[in-house]
Structure 1
Amino acid sequence: MPPRSLQTAALGMQAQQTSIDNIANNLSNANTTGYKRSRVVFQDLLYENVQASAEGQTDGAEPAELQIGSGTTAVATVRNFSQGSFSKTGNSLDLAINGDGFFQVQQPDGSLAYTRDGTFTLSSEGNIVTQTGLKVQPNINVPPNAVEISIDQEGTVKARLQGESEMVELGQMELARFPNSAGLRPQGGNLYEQTESSGEPFIGTPGRGGLGNVRQGFLEKGNVKVVQEMTSLIQAQRTYELNSRMVTTSDEMMQTANNVKR
């Protein structure tokens, strides 16, 4: 049977590899609109009572036991939904949320997904959609003869039609807010889906009920802090190397023990 230290160090290397994989994903999305960085959560594994506590102590102290742990494992990734900085684009359909909340989009199967990425455009039918063609909900249709689109901080969409001087109201955007945003499950494509952990969404008008305001002509950058991620990368790499050294040390000790038997 291999020594406990060999198994524990191997688990440590596996855990740090998971951490490095997560850091690599954060860094690769540093310039992704609305991306929220994540971190890996670790837990120690089962402990074994190698030796029971000594009996007969009279000083009233709690008897100590000899326990050896089995290493560590990655159990979850926790996403940080702190606000990213804004980038001005000047495009009328680029929107950023200043505060809490998510845009709602309808997926091909009819279910709703949620995003902080407000890089919107118009479909061939005039609907406001994401870059992949998903309709923003509530659905708002822009007439083909619209020459100007205005979206105020409360999400009211207006357009000036060709030959007209007054703006015409087209619809009202709504945002979704969750009791526990960290419980949302990422789907890829800058989308999140609701889970039991996230809770039921509160749907409302931007700027009301704790929801953030809408900023037209801006996009929210990802909240990845490159310097912080590089520091975490160095720490994970060093920890991986130490666990690798432990594997080598355990192997050398096994060889020494085998030589003694000879």
Structure 2
Amino acid sequence: MLRSLWTAASGMNAQQTNVDTIANNLANINTTGYKAESAEFKSLLYQNLQSKTTSANGANKPVSAQVGLGVRTASISSDFTQGSFLQSDNNFSFAINGKGFFAVSGVDGQTEYTRNGNFNISQGTDGLTLCTSEGYPVLDSTGAPIVFDATMKSSNITVNSDGEFCYPDASNNPAPIGISIGVYQFANPTGLEKEAASLFSETDASGVAINEAEDAGVKKSTIKQSYLEGSNVQVATEMVNLITAQRAYELNSKAINASDEMLQQANSLKR
């Protein structure tokens, strides 16, 4: 009975983590570039209730007698499927169609990666810097911050599907200016470490960032200007998962109550 108390308690803890994950998905349903997360579980150790043999001559039992000791959270993984494209009035809003990530120079100059392409122009002494809403500079295909000439009119800057920035030439036709927005891929994107503001950082599990501009072996992503990638959270799916997690939590709590009542009955036998 004590075993059942611990097992049911571990189930309640696991389902609480599940509800926390679902709540975070629902909270970020309108977050640009957000990727839905799901909690995954694994069973704990099993305890042998009987020995492996039942006969005096050591014959093996056809079925073992083992009981599980509960569950724990194995991982919380992100689903990197493509989100829907949402039109934006911002000329420097970009959406990635493919598996790529934008690169930004984050805190202490560390390179971070994101699917949130809601960028803006910051006026500085060096020119016009493309940056995130938090002020982090966006990096180009060479890993350098994207800075435009201060004489350029920001409303005339465009981006083609290959990520090349263009500006009207003498004939008023968009011409590449030699700057391409950096797009990077990972062998295992689910291994990325999640940071605040929809940012991800590279880890050993994710592998090193693959620069699409330099690696011919990867399928190139395309860029859509004046569009943003919406969250890929599915409300109906999350609500079903929430109800399932709630029911599982209730069942585990009932198991604890049942075990508690059985212990009370056992203790009353001495009276």
* TM-score normalised per structure 1: 0.92
Looking at structure 1, the residues matched to 250 and 132 of structure 2 have their Cα atoms a distance apart, in angstroms, of 44
Are the counterparts in 1 of residues 77 and 190 from structure 2 also a CA contact under 8 Å? Answer: yes
Per the alignment, residue 11 of structure 1 pairs with 10
What secondary structure sits across from 1:237 in the alignment? helix
Per the alignment, residue 161 of structure 2 pairs with 153
For 1:10-49, what aligned pairs fall within 5 Å after superposition?
A: 10-49=9-48
Per the alignment, residue 71 of structure 1 pairs with 70
Alignment identity in percent?
A: 38
Spell out, residue by residue over 1:166-196, the C-alpha distance to the aligned partner (whole angstroms, 9 max, x if none).
Answer: 5453311121010011111111111000011
The alpha-carbon deviation at position 206 of structure 1 amounts to 10
Per the alignment, residue 103 of structure 2 pairs with 104
**How many pairs does the alignment contain?**
259
Per the alignment, residue 146 of structure 2 pairs with 140
Per the alignment, residue 123 of structure 1 pairs with 122
Structure 1: tracts of 5 or more residues without a match: none
Q: What amino acid is the match of 2:102?
A: F
Structure 2: tracts of 5 or more residues without a match: none
Looking at structure 2, the residues matched to 167 and 103 of structure 1 have their Cα atoms a distance apart, in angstroms, of 23
Per the alignment, residue 83 of structure 1 pairs with 82
Looking at structure 2, the residues matched to 206 and 155 of structure 1 have their Cα atoms a distance apart, in angstroms, of 14
Is 1:245 matched up with 2:244?
no
Looking at structure 2, the residues matched to 249 and 84 of structure 1 have their Cα atoms a distance apart, in angstroms, of 45
The alpha-carbon deviation at position 228 of structure 1 amounts to 0.2
Q: 1:233 aligns with which of 242, 260, 268?
A: 242
- Tell me how large the CA RMSD over aligned residues is: 2.2
What secondary structure sits across from 2:41 in the alignment? strand
Are the counterparts in 1 of residues 113 and 200 from structure 2 also a CA contact under 8 Å? Answer: yes
The alpha-carbon deviation at position 11 of structure 1 amounts to 0.8
Are the counterparts in 2 of residues 34 and 220 from structure 1 also a CA contact under 8 Å? Answer: yes
Is 1:169 matched up with 2:190?
no
Spell out, residue by residue over 1:134-169, the C-alpha distance to the aligned partner (whole angstroms, 9 max, x if none).
Answer: 1111222223343311100001102248x9835453
Per the alignment, residue 226 of structure 2 pairs with 217
Looking at structure 2, the residues matched to 145 and 164 of structure 1 have their Cα atoms a distance apart, in angstroms, of 18
Are the counterparts in 2 of residues 204 and 211 from structure 1 also a CA contact under 8 Å? Answer: yes
Per the alignment, residue 195 of structure 1 pairs with 203
Looking at structure 2, the residues matched to 159 and 33 of structure 1 have their Cα atoms a distance apart, in angstroms, of 27
Looking at structure 2, the residues matched to 140 and 43 of structure 1 have their Cα atoms a distance apart, in angstroms, of 45
Looking at structure 1, the residues matched to 118 and 215 of structure 2 have their Cα atoms a distance apart, in angstroms, of 20
Are the counterparts in 1 of residues 53 and 61 from structure 2 also a CA contact under 8 Å? Answer: no
The alpha-carbon deviation at position 41 of structure 1 amounts to 1.0
Q: What amino acid is the match of 1:214?
A: I
Deviates more, 1:60-69 or 1:106-115: 60-69
* TM-score normalised per structure 2: 0.89
